[in-house]
Amino acid sequence: MSPLTNALIHYWQRLPAESPAARRRCLESSCERVARGAEPRTVLLPYALGDADDEIVAAATRAWLRTLAASTEDDAAAVDEAVEWVRRGLALNRGAVFGALLSLGDEATLERLPALRLVLSATEVEVACRVLGPAPNERVVEFLVDWLALLADGPHTGEQRALATALQGWDRAEAA
In sequence order, what are the residues at sequence separation of 6 or more whose Cβ sits closer than 8 angstroms to the Cβ of residue 126? 95, 162, 165, 166
Average pLDDT, the chain: 91
pLDDT given for residue 74 in this prediction: 62
Among the listed residues 154, 156, 143, 150, the one whose alpha carbon sits nearest the alpha carbon of residue 170: 143
pLDDT given for residue 77 in this prediction: 86
pLDDT given for residue 4 in this prediction: 86
- What residue spans define the domains of the chain? 3-175
In sequence order, what are the residues at sequence separation of 6 or more whose Cβ sits closer than 8 angstroms to the Cβ of residue 26? 18, 47
Among the listed residues 98, 73, 66, the one whose alpha carbon sits nearest the alpha carbon of residue 85: 98
Does pTM top 0.85 for this prediction? yes
- Asked if residues 56 and 28 have their Cβ atoms less than 8 Å apart, the reply is no
5-61 pLDDT, tens digit per residue, is 999 999 999 988 999 999 999 999 999 999 999 999 999 999 999 999 999 999 999
Residue 62's CB: how many other CB atoms inside 10 A? 21
Measured distance CA(1)–CA(32) in Å, rounded = 28
In sequence order, what are the residues at sequence separation of 6 or more whose Cβ sits closer than 8 angstroms to the Cβ of residue 141? 167, 170
Which one has a higher pLDDT value, 2 or 112? Answer: 112
**Count of residues in the chain:** 176
Cα four-point dihedral sign 56, 44, 159, 76: positive
Instruction: Using the predicted structure, report yes or no on whether residue 71 has a pLDDT greater than 50.
Output: no
